[in-house]
Structure 1
Amino acid sequence: MNASEAVPPPLDGVRVIDLTTTFMGPYATMLMARMGADVVKVEAPTGDVVRYIGRGRHPGMGPIFLSVNHGKRSIALDLKRPDAREALHRLLEGADVFVTNLRPAALAGLGLSADELLVAHPRLVCAALPGFGGGGPYRDRAAYDDVVQAACGIADVQGGAGEPVYVRTVVADKTVALMGLAAINAALLGVQRTGRGRSVEIPMFETMVSFTLLEQQNARVLDPPAGPAGYARTSSPHRRPYATSDGHLGVVVYTDRQWLSFFALIDRPDLARDERFSTITGRTEHIDELYALLAEVLPTRSSAEWIAVLGAAGIPVQPVLGPDDLFDDPHLAAVGMFEGVEHPDEGALVLPRLPVTVDGALPARVRGAPRLGEHGPAVLAEAGFDEHEITALAGSGAMVVPDREEVRDGDQAVGGARAE
């Protein structure tokens, strides 16, 4: 089955009110939009700061914003105003999920804490993505990806024996977004089964501690600890893409069979009999020596030669690609990883699709990211506001909308039944 229209997307009919900014929350809700949800992005009158990162074709439509927020609709509300907060509550009456990354004190000041919302909207999933969990002393601290990478152990692990180093992507934001997506979808299932709304907290720090310690906790799983935390294989200074005679490769030799095959390929059968390398326990303890061997041997052949012989031996190997190279990768082309989207204002865009299939079908095509406040009047009308109320909100400054002649109809619909 290949036609995306043949299979309703998994979150078809789910409406999400998205009060998040920057990367973490917007990535989670973009994935929900890709899964079929109608995501209404609630922005301040100045818009999400990510709108202004990088040079786009028009102000407020930067390339990263176009990536992180496609598939959504936008309403711009000044939530410092009581009439704007009342409008938000009316939107929540018809919503299934409310997502925010505001700090708890800010939410409480706006009357948007989970306790308050669940009284007014008892079937709502209230999902918060704060920097730190509400039960600890850090709960009111601000957090961004860099701060959380430092706090959760990743920067120390990346630095090895040297200075701490950040992963050169917003790994905390994106990982917590994925945890948030899982928690929200689980809570939606709970509401479906019980009829009772749920409050879900997905804190960055705790999520990334769990993420980091999956293998790094090591001997500290035991109580009392049998040794220090840390995982020798990933901590080895020799674990890196290896130079060949004409490039670099990612190579992982891991199992007994793979190491036996590798030792045979390099004509070192003696190593297969070495007690340091005959078991995975021994290899982990002596991983620096093995990875140093890889670094020594791989420059003796070309990348193509190694891909052929290692692949034939069942040893995982891939060339090192840069971000630009991904757009020409033959596998990604074959699976349709990138799709063209014609944005009504920004023109032709290229966006990665949701990297999953449902019943063998690719997800539905998606609309481009919204202009600030573009869908405000339509979203309010769906929530039961009459024309006079909508005009009053716009006139008072509680809601910001683009000039009417700039508002365009007919952009690509996606997902939920209520995504007009």
Structure 2
Amino acid sequence: MPEYDMTDLLSVMSGQFVNDEENMTMLASEPCGPLKGIRIIDLTSVVMGPFATQILADLGADVIKVESPAGDTTRNMGYRQHKGMGSNFLHLNRNKRSVVLDLKTPEGREACLALAKTADVFLYNVRPQAMARLGLSYEAVKAVNPQIVYAGAYGFSDNGPYAGRPAYDDLIQGMTGIPALYSQHTGLPPRYVPLTMADRIVGLQAGIACLAGVLESRQSGQGQSIEIPMFETMAQFVLNDHLGGATFEPPKGEMGYSRLLVEPRKPYQAADGYVCVIVHTNKHWQRFLDLVGRPDLLVPGSVFESVESRARHVNQVYGFLADMILGNTVAYWVETLAAVDIPVAPLNQVEDLLEDPHLQATGQIVKMVHPTEGHLRTVAPVGNYSRTPPGIYRHAPNLGEHTEEILREVGFMPESSPPRET
């Protein structure tokens, strides 16, 4: 573990760190978001679970990240200054406290149950069978805290034939047809979306499930076990768009949302780059066709006449739009289409987001100083709350940084214990 000065660390954690650099964001002194007072024991790792608890922590929940002695594998993913503090980990685990427990030992298990006794949520993302082998099944955790929300986010429901299979983002994307949709749309070989999309969508669902469970538990006085399976979550996500004609019995047509699947639906090539344009409503099309000197195309019986007609001839409609866009520059289309209230935007590269004027004005990209990792850039919590704003009040923790602090809080470590070597 990298060495750091304890005085500097404590001053940063209390919001008193002073840095003279312009635009450096200060830590909030303590959480004040709407979830203040909710405690979450987080046994998750990698992306899906940590993304769920990062959002809950940003909103003020006290998230205690339980790690093995080896630490979350994400600690060593991506660029890093020091071992165990990779860029992915830094973004996913801010506002959390880290405690190291070896759950394969009796002492580690008892310490984990002591934490669970004080918590509202116990979230894990390994298979339920693995939790049972550790002695941390729902029944075991419920025995020490009947009101706890015991939430499992993993690959497949335990009620189906795929139960217990390993699952990763790529596999779930593939099993729910996302690479096939890409191929159908582009005519190219299948490929995964270049985001941890399944992990993050299921992470959002896990966060919602945890909050729903806490709300019900506080009303009823009883906890419950909640399952958040990746495959089912992403199948819902895909099928809501693409059930199409199979919505009805008997089917009224093919599956698929045609507007999303046509080849011309993509950023349009202009004379000097690419531009993103949505010409969708009747008013949009009337304005666009006036702009390009083709109002005659709105005559009765034209493919442009109505939403229904455009949907039936979607390839022809989008093909015409693509041909028109090619005749002028990106700047021309952004200015001209915006002037007539047609949705338009330039095609950004990922790097452009760091200098985007709107993200800068809203404070979405923030610069901070981590006590061991130095100057960092990260993304602010999303949303504006008039009374209980989310915030960043803790940096991502070093491995086991809060072990003694947390175990003392739950009475598992005597106050007279000597400090652990770091």
Give TM-score, length-normalised by structure 2: 0.89
Residue of structure 2 aligned with 1:94, choices 118, 125, 131: 118
Structure 1 unaligned runs (5+)? 395-400, 405-420
| One-letter amino acid of the structure 2 residue matched with residue 81 of structure 1 | T
Residue 212 in structure 1 maps to residue 211 in structure 2? no
Aligned equivalent of 1:410: none
| One-letter amino acid of the structure 2 residue matched with residue 136 of structure 1 | G
8 Å contact 2:31–2:60 — kept in the other structure?
no
8 Å contact 2:33–2:388 — kept in the other structure?
no
Mapping for residues 15-94 of structure 1, pairs under 5 Å: 15-94=39-118
Structure 2 unaligned runs (5+)? 1-26
Aligned equivalent of 1:198: 224
Aligned equivalent of 2:15: none
Separation (CA, whole Å) in 2 of partners of 1:56 and 1:330: 28
Separation (CA, whole Å) in 1 of partners of 2:31 and 2:86: 32
| One-letter amino acid of the structure 1 residue matched with residue 109 of structure 2 | R
Aligned equivalent of 2:247: 221
- The secondary structure found in structure 2 opposite 1:133 is coil
8 Å contact 1:45–1:78 — kept in the other structure?
yes
Separation (CA, whole Å) in 2 of partners of 1:338 and 1:352: 5
8 Å contact 1:34–1:364 — kept in the other structure?
yes
Residue 352 in structure 1 maps to residue 390 in structure 2? no
8 Å contact 2:31–2:393 — kept in the other structure?
no
String of CA shifts for 1:91-147, please: whole Å, max 9, x gaps. 111111111101111111112222332233111111110100111010110000000
Aligned equivalent of 1:387: 414
| One-letter amino acid of the structure 2 residue matched with residue 302 of structure 1 | T
| One-letter amino acid of the structure 2 residue matched with residue 378 of structure 1 | E
Aligned equivalent of 1:148: 172
Q: Could you say if the C-alpha distance between residues 30 and 285 of structure 1 is closer, same or farther in structure 2, counting changes exceeding 3 Å?
A: same
8 Å contact 1:16–1:98 — kept in the other structure?
yes
Separation (CA, whole Å) in 2 of partners of 1:172 and 1:265: 41
Residue 239 in structure 1 maps to residue 265 in structure 2? yes
Considering only aligned residues, what root-mean-square deviation do their CA atoms show, in Å? Answer: 2.0
Q: Could you say if the C-alpha distance between residues 4 and 55 of structure 1 is closer, same or farther in structure 2, counting changes exceeding 3 Å?
A: closer
Aligned equivalent of 1:418: none
- The secondary structure found in structure 1 opposite 2:326 is helix
Separation (CA, whole Å) in 1 of partners of 2:389 and 2:346: 27
Residue of structure 1 aligned with 2:289, choices 263, 276, 279: 263
- The secondary structure found in structure 2 opposite 1:129 is strand
String of CA shifts for 1:299-351, please: whole Å, max 9, x gaps. 21111111111112221111111221111000011111122222111112121
| One-letter amino acid of the structure 2 residue matched with residue 142 of structure 1 | P
Aligned length: 393
8 Å contact 2:32–2:388 — kept in the other structure?
no
How many percent identity over aligned positions? 40
- The secondary structure found in structure 1 opposite 2:154 is coil
8 Å contact 1:7–1:361 — kept in the other structure?
no
Q: Could you say if the C-alpha distance between residues 116 and 272 of structure 1 is closer, same or farther in structure 2, counting changes exceeding 3 Å?
A: farther
Residue of structure 1 aligned with 2:277, choices 230, 242, 251: 251
Separation (CA, whole Å) in 1 of partners of 2:28 and 2:343: 32
* 1:19 shift after superposition: 0.4
Residue 312 in structure 1 maps to residue 339 in structure 2? yes
Residue of structure 1 aligned with 2:213, choices 156, 169, 187: 187
8 Å contact 2:408–2:415 — kept in the other structure?
no
8 Å contact 1:11–1:35 — kept in the other structure?
yes
Mapping for residues 144-183 of structure 1, pairs under 5 Å: 144-160=168-184, 161-183=187-209
Separation (CA, whole Å) in 1 of partners of 2:144 and 2:174: 39
Q: Could you say if the C-alpha distance between residues 331 and 223 of structure 1 is closer, same or farther in structure 2, counting changes exceeding 3 Å?
A: same
8 Å contact 1:17–1:41 — kept in the other structure?
yes
Q: Could you say if the C-alpha distance between residues 381 and 388 of structure 1 is closer, same or farther in structure 2, counting changes exceeding 3 Å?
A: closer
* 1:272 shift after superposition: 1.7
* 1:387 shift after superposition: 3.2
Aligned equivalent of 2:32: 8
Aligned equivalent of 1:277: 304
8 Å contact 1:4–1:362 — kept in the other structure?
no
8 Å contact 2:32–2:389 — kept in the other structure?
no
Separation (CA, whole Å) in 2 of partners of 1:99 and 1:317: 41
Residue of structure 2 aligned with 1:107, choices 124, 131, 137: 131
Q: Could you say if the C-alpha distance between residues 360 and 284 of structure 1 is closer, same or farther in structure 2, counting changes exceeding 3 Å?
A: farther
